Homo-oligomer: A and B are copies of this chain.
Amino acid sequence: MSTWYQENIRVQYKDTDQMGVVHHGNYVTWFEIGRTEWMRHKGMTYSQLENQRLLLPVMDVQLQYKLSAKYDDCVAVFTRVSKASPIRLEFEYEVRRIDEVAFAERGKTESLNPYGELLTKGSSTHMWVNSNWKPTKINKVAPEVYDIVKK
């Protein structure tokens, strides 16, 4: 399994709902931020993939909610690849509450173990397609990308 990549996010007011916590729908977006920044950290951007006419649409998402994030909390999205084949890519996520010091000083880094208070876990599966949404073998059309994700 690859190491975890940490991306920090400050909880915004608009993310809260009248229960006083972050609305559960926002975590899907946070997962997306997690894998986007994971890619950038690995040296490619999703934007570059799109320019190469490669898309990575979502096939499924699972979320398990443990504790609620609150307004102005410091959260870290930990992301890693859990499975990579030439046709599919799976990510795993943990969203954790961290303190202000860790928020300011750590982030945009890899770590062996996620830390902080676990809020939400999840995963997503994606499929490599071309710009006509036809399934594509990433090891054929962009081996350098496959080299990055399969590690």
- How many chain A residues sit at the interface, stated as a range, is 35 or more
The answer to whether B29 touches A25, judged by C-beta atoms less than 8 angstroms apart, is yes
Neighbouring B residues of A64 by C-beta, 8 Å: 59-60
Given A60-B64, A62-B61, does the pair A13, B28 have CB atoms closer than 8 Å? no
Interface status of A113 (Cβ within 8 A of chain B): no
Question: Among A16-24, A83-91, A134-142, A143-151, which stretch is in contact with chain B?
Answer: A16-24
Interface status of A33 (Cβ within 8 A of chain B): yes
The answer to whether B58 touches A71, judged by C-beta atoms less than 8 angstroms apart, is no
Interface status of A75 (Cβ within 8 A of chain B): no
Q: 19 other contacts beyond A13-B23, A25-B29, A57-B65, with CB at 8 A cut-off?
A: A12-B29, A12-B33, A12-B36, A13-B18, A13-B32, A13-B36, A14-B17, A14-B23, A19-B55, A24-B61, A25-B32, A47-B71, A50-B71, A57-B68, A60-B63, A60-B64, A61-B61, A61-B63, A62-B63
